[in-house]
Structure 1
Amino acid sequence: MSTERITRSAAGKVVVVTGGARGIGRAVASALADAGAVVALGDIDASTVASTGTEIGAATARHLDVTDPASFTSFLAEVEKTCGPIDVLINNAGIMPVGRFTEETDEITRRILDINVYGVILGTKLVLPKFLARGRGHVVNMASMAGENPTPGMATYCASKQAVLSFTETMRLEHRGTGVRFSAVLPTFTRTEMITGTRAPRALLAEPADVAAAVTALIARPRRRVSVTRTAGVLAAFNKLTPRPIGEFMARRLGVHRTFIDVDRDARRAYDDRLAAD
């Protein structure tokens, strides 16, 4: 798809990006702003999202707790007041604590599910009535390859992303013919703070810009799902077609079975500390 067509499709659209202060969310928001979209950023980190909004030229950037109905409702109302009717909601906010399941506290388990799953469901529930009334709108949910490829060291995260995939597909089927579109984005390991301290296989790595480009193209031409990178998507599809022992053997050869268990906790401390503080 040409850059001109993508820019023409995004220009003037009011796009909400949750979890927009850093990483993939920031990259997506920046790409959309460059394409002429009216971008609204929300994030639990109020100071960082404000500075990000200024740096990328967002129309608005505010505190948002995607697990709190009052916060999400207020945020969306302010976006519509400031920017106009929302065209696209990108449910990007998510967290990814890693390590053995037996070492995961109940608090962290609940936070993963609250942010990664409930936040997606809540955001969708809040924008959907107006989308349906207008007969148009697009919900883009950030899932993960991990939702289809169980990965040791991130059991709850994998479960949360599988839930996002199932929810997105169900919404698509339930609202077929209404003019409202639903899409899932499945990034592979992406070079953000989330994989700090891990040894993610280089062949499977994506850059935030790769995900941003895929999301921008997805808004121009909605599809039910897109994998990032294409190579990782092909490998994942191939893995589904191979006998399970072979697929698991290949994962072990790539080191995936240890990637999120043998982690450098010192390197990862800043990310883990921020999760505990939010």
Structure 2
Amino acid sequence: MTRTRTDRQRDLRGSVVVVTGGGRGIGLATAGRFADAGARVVLGDLDGDLAARAARSLGGTTRAHGHALDVTDRASYADFLERAAEHGPVEVLVNNAGIMPLSPLGEQSEESIDRVLDVNLRAVITGTRLVLPAMTAQGRGHVINVASAVGRVGMPGGAVYSASKFGVVGFSEAMVGELSPLGIDISCVLPTVVATELSAGVSAARGMRPCTPEEVADAILGVARAPRFETWVPAYAKGVFHASNALPRRARDLLSHLMHADSSLTDVDTAARAGYEQRAQR
């Protein structure tokens, strides 16, 4: 990665960019944005065939490569990164893979809880650890973690999901102090409700709107070009969060109720989510 002289943003042409969960949704849109920016993109997805098809849709072997990746398996993640490094040193890692099964905590199975924490949080830690040696040796790199607005604002109905995303934000904040002296940037992107399969049947809070995978991808690309720690999508959601967070707890809870934010993950269309919930459990 280099900085252009005209806009002082990083020039991503030729950089190797790794995107997990790249077969669909935010991951695929993000891979497309990086490919269009001239990067060499390596997509990973639990469904290897889907990853390969996604890569072909972005220009095949000239711009993108897709491989099977189980982010919960350290050996699989390490092997995937080795394959990515065949195209050059990995300069950007986008930890995007995530799942969001929804239910009250008392109804969520132990297997589901483990899966959410393994995919959403442990995998972010694993991926970061695995890219550190090479990034440290080359004196540069960027880890971009796709968190969530509920990584700052916990919501009933998705307690474990929220906990996993709070963990991603906290882990990332701690890593800033460790990685900055090494020349490695770390960033968090916090989308609200995104119009993907993961959010099927979920309504945005009153006054908010669902964002598209492409909007999130644009934010991720922007962060890669001009690193900063925290980016919300849509951007105005950050102001809503900070304004409400400054209120006393009782007033904050009332505002959340008036915006229907406190029921966003409980009053869901279960029929619309059925297909995703079954796939997430697998």
TM-score w.r.t. length of structure 1:
0.94
How far has the Cα of 1:276 moved from its partner? 2.4
SS at match of 1:210: helix
The equivalent position to 2:71 in structure 1, one of 66, 69, 73, is: 66
Q: Find out whether 1:234 has 2:236 as its counterpart.
A: no
The equivalent position to 2:18 in structure 1, one of 16, 23, 29, is: 16
In 2, are the aligned partners of 1:6 and 1:35 still within 8 Å (CA)?
A: no
Q: Find out whether 1:164 has 2:168 as its counterpart.
A: yes
1:192-211 matches, cutoff 5 A:
192-201=196-205, 203-204=207-208, 205-211=210-216
How far has the Cα of 1:8 moved from its partner? 6.5
Q: Find out whether 1:182 has 2:186 as its counterpart.
A: yes
SS at match of 2:182: coil
In 1, are the aligned partners of 2:18 and 2:93 still within 8 Å (CA)?
A: yes
Tell me, in whole angstroms, the C-alpha distance in 2 between the residues paired with 1:139 and 1:91.
Answer: 7
> Percent same amino acid at aligned positions?
41
Computed over aligned residues only, the root mean square deviation of the Cα atoms, in angstroms, reads: 1.7
Q: Find out whether 1:40 has 2:42 as its counterpart.
A: yes
2:237 aligned partner, one-letter code: A
Tell me, in whole angstroms, the C-alpha distance in 1 between the residues paired with 2:202 and 2:190.
Answer: 19
Aligned residues: 274
1:23 aligned partner, one-letter code: G
1:97-136 matches, cutoff 5 A:
97-136=101-140
1:47 aligned partner, one-letter code: D
In 2, are the aligned partners of 1:112 and 1:157 still within 8 Å (CA)?
A: yes
Q: Which moved more, 1:199-208 or 1:113-122?
A: 199-208
Partner of 1:28: 30
Tell me, in whole angstroms, the C-alpha distance in 2 between the residues paired with 1:38 and 1:85.
Answer: 11
Q: Find out whether 1:173 has 2:177 as its counterpart.
A: yes
Tell me, in whole angstroms, the C-alpha distance in 2 between the residues paired with 1:207 and 1:234.
Answer: 19
Q: Find out whether 1:52 has 2:57 as its counterpart.
A: no
1:138-153 matches, cutoff 5 A:
138-153=142-157
Q: Find out whether 1:220 has 2:225 as its counterpart.
A: yes
In 2, are the aligned partners of 1:5 and 1:220 still within 8 Å (CA)?
A: no
Cα distance per residue 1:224-261 (max 9 Å; x no partner): 11111111111011111111212211111121222211
Q: Which moved more, 1:41-50 or 1:117-126?
A: 41-50
Tell me, in whole angstroms, the C-alpha distance in 1 between the residues paired with 2:239 and 2:169.
Answer: 18
Structure 1 gap segments, 5+ residues each: none
Tell me, in whole angstroms, the C-alpha distance in 2 between the residues paired with 1:202 and 1:37.
Answer: 38
Tell me, in whole angstroms, the C-alpha distance in 1 between the residues paired with 2:233 and 2:280.
Answer: 25
Partner of 2:263: 258
1:198 aligned partner, one-letter code: V
How far has the Cα of 1:53 moved from its partner? 1.2
Cα distance per residue 1:97-133 (max 9 Å; x no partner): 1121111110000000000011000000000011011
1:38 aligned partner, one-letter code: R
1:52 aligned partner, one-letter code: A
How far has the Cα of 1:7 moved from its partner? 8.8
SS at match of 1:87: strand
Q: Specify whether residues 107 and 6 from structure 1 end up closer, same or farther in structure 2 by C-alpha distance, changes over 3 A only.
A: farther
The equivalent position to 1:243 in structure 2, one of 241, 245, 248, is: 248
Tell me, in whole angstroms, the C-alpha distance in 1 between the residues paired with 2:207 and 2:88.
Answer: 42
Q: Which moved more, 1:35-44 or 1:205-214?
A: 205-214
Q: Which moved more, 1:228-237 or 1:45-54?
A: 45-54
The equivalent position to 2:83 in structure 1, one of 78, 87, 97, is: 78
More helix by proportion, 1 or 2? 1
In 1, are the aligned partners of 2:58 and 2:64 still within 8 Å (CA)?
A: no
Structure 2 gap segments, 5+ residues each: none
2:23 aligned partner, one-letter code: A
Tell me, in whole angstroms, the C-alpha distance in 2 between the residues paired with 1:97 and 1:248.
Answer: 24
How far has the Cα of 1:201 moved from its partner? 2.9
